[in-house]
Structures are given as structure tokens and as C-alpha cells.
Amino acid sequence: MHPVECLAVWLGRLPFSEALELQMRICGLKKQGEGPDVLLLVEHPPTITLGRNGGREHLLVDEETLGRRGIEMHHVDRGGAITYHGPGQLVGYPLLMLGKGERNVRGYMRNLEQSLIDLVAAYGVAAGREEGYTGVWTPGGKVAAMGVHISRWVTRHGFALNINTDLTYYDLIVPCGIIGKSVTSLCALLGRPLDLEEVADRYLPCFGAVFGRTMTAVDRGFLESIFGGSPGVQSEM
């Protein structure tokens, strides 16, 4: 079976609501059988999201405090509870039409975890899974959170991998509603900051290998030319 093409787009820093609108538009067309698979990679301004499992009780400050600190809050239809997105964090949104052999939600989540385990291993960090929980874990704490939405076997939402993230923002919440578990970042584990776009580039072969996709890096303009918008450029990875 030939690998499926997947367009990978680095969007830079983008408001959460704008990235969500883009996801919805692409997934709406994919449910109609239009367009290739897409991997959106993005960095968000400070944002707290609440998933289908709620987690409002795990917000440790009031909304006025969030507003004063310039932190947005959104209720979304992904799995999971409360989490944080912000500068220095690589957020990935795979928008895939799962093939017949891929239509297993647990298997999809495991593959997403594995792609991130492989990525952090490329930086010399040993990571794995924690029994009973989703995400990617290291001896120093959880380095990546995950929450997805799958409808008609089209995937949406995805993961948040802490690279240079300011971890003090996690003091505002109980991350993912898990009490007694710490969070960490690649910067904290390695003792040095990393270039976020470079990490995004290194993720593409990890994702492609696990999911059996041929990754093609494109700009947002090229993506919009397929799913509605203006022309852009592409390059094989």
C-alpha cells in the first residue's frame, strides 16, 4: 500500500480561535472527500482550553484573573479536561481521513504518542507512556498532552508539546485534571532553549513514519489554495 500524502504547515504564532476555524473548515471539506490529509503546526498565545471531560473545577483562578493576565479561555469538543497552550509550545493538529486499517481510536492515540516519543528521543530525551493516562511522559514529568476529536473518521485537535514553555502558567490549573503529576518541557530537561520551528521541522519525519504518510511541507497560502484561499508554495520533505 502506497503512503498517503499529508501536507504539513507551520503557521507560527496564531490565536487559538483562528487555528480552530481553519481546522473546522478543512475537516468539513475532508468529510466530503475533498483534499489531502493535513498536519497543522502552530504556537498559540497564552490560552486555557476545557475539553469534553470538563475540568472547570481544575481552574485554580477566576476568569477575571485570566483576563488581567491576557489569557484566553475556550471550551472545545476534544477529549480530555483542562490544559494550557502558550508561547514556546509546539501544538499539532493532524487532520487525517483515517483509512480502514486505521479506524481505531485507541490505536490512533497510541500512534500520536509514539510520534512524539520518537521526536523527543531525537533530542536525547527518554520518554514513554504512563499507565492509565494519555500523553508523553518523562522521569521529570509530562512533556506532551493530547486531546482529539474524531468524526466520520476525520481527526481534529491533537497534541501540545512543551518546548520552551513558561511552566509557571501551569500553576493556574490542575493540568489535564491529574492531581499529583508534574509537567516539564524539553528546555527544562535539556537545560537549553530550542528553536520551535526547527523542532516542528524535525517532527515531520517522525509523524510520517508512524502514520505512513508522505509529508510535504507547504505554506499557508498553498493550503488555502486547496481548501479556499490564495496560492502559495510547497516543498517535498
**49 in Cβ contact with 82 (< 8 Å):** yes
Among candidate residues 6, 27, 176, 206, the one labeled active-site is 176
* 176 belongs to the catalytic site: yes
Q: What are phi and psi of 60, to 5 degrees?
A: -95, 0
**69 in Cβ contact with 143 (< 8 Å):** no
**134 in Cβ contact with 120 (< 8 Å):** no
**What is the total residue count of the chain?**
237
Spatial distance between the Cα atoms of 83 and 160, rounded to a whole number of angstroms: 9
Spatial distance between the Cα atoms of 42 and 156, rounded to a whole number of angstroms: 14
Please list the active-site residues: 176
